[in-house]
Amino acid sequence: MGRVTGKTAIVTGASLGLGRAAAMLLAREGARVVLTDLRRDEGAELADRIVSDGGEAIFLAHDVAAEEDWRRVIASAVSRFGGLDILVNNAGVALSAPVEDTTLEQWRWLMSINLDGVFLGVKHAVGAMKAKGGSIINLSSIEGLIGDPNLAAYNASKGGVRLLTKSAALSCAKAGYRIRVNSIHPGYIDTPMVTAYADAQPDPKAARVAIAALHPLGHIGEPDDIAYGVLYLASDESKFVTGAELVIDGGYTAQ
Asked whether residue 255 is assigned to any structural domain, the reply reads no
Q: Which of 154, 177, 188, 252 is catalytic?
A: 154
Asked whether residue 160 is assigned to any structural domain, the reply reads yes
Q: Which domain holds residue 76?
A: 8-244
Residue 244, φ and ψ in degrees, nearest 5: -95, 160
Asked whether residue 105 is assigned to any structural domain, the reply reads yes
Residue 4: strand, helix, or coil: coil
245-248 and 179-186 as β-strands: parallel, antiparallel, unpaired? parallel
Asked whether residue 252 is assigned to any structural domain, the reply reads no
Whether 154 is a known active-site residue: answer yes
Q: Which residue type occupies 112?
A: S
Asked whether residue 51 is assigned to any structural domain, the reply reads yes
Asked whether residue 253 is assigned to any structural domain, the reply reads no
Asked whether residue 25 is assigned to any structural domain, the reply reads yes
User: Do residues 137 and 89 lie in contact, with contact meaning Cβ atoms separated by under 8 Å?
Assistant: yes
Asked whether residue 250 is assigned to any structural domain, the reply reads no
DSSP letter for 142, please.
G
* Total domains in the fold of the chain: 1
Tell me what pLDDT residue 30 has.
Answer: 98
CATH number, domain at 33? 3.40.50.720
pLDDT along the chain (255 residues), means of 10: 96 97 98 98 98 98 98 98 98 96 98 98 98 98 97 98 98 98 98 90 94 96 98 98 98 97
CA 222 vs CA 134, 140, 190: distances in Å: 27, 16, 5
Tell me what pLDDT residue 197 has.
Answer: 87
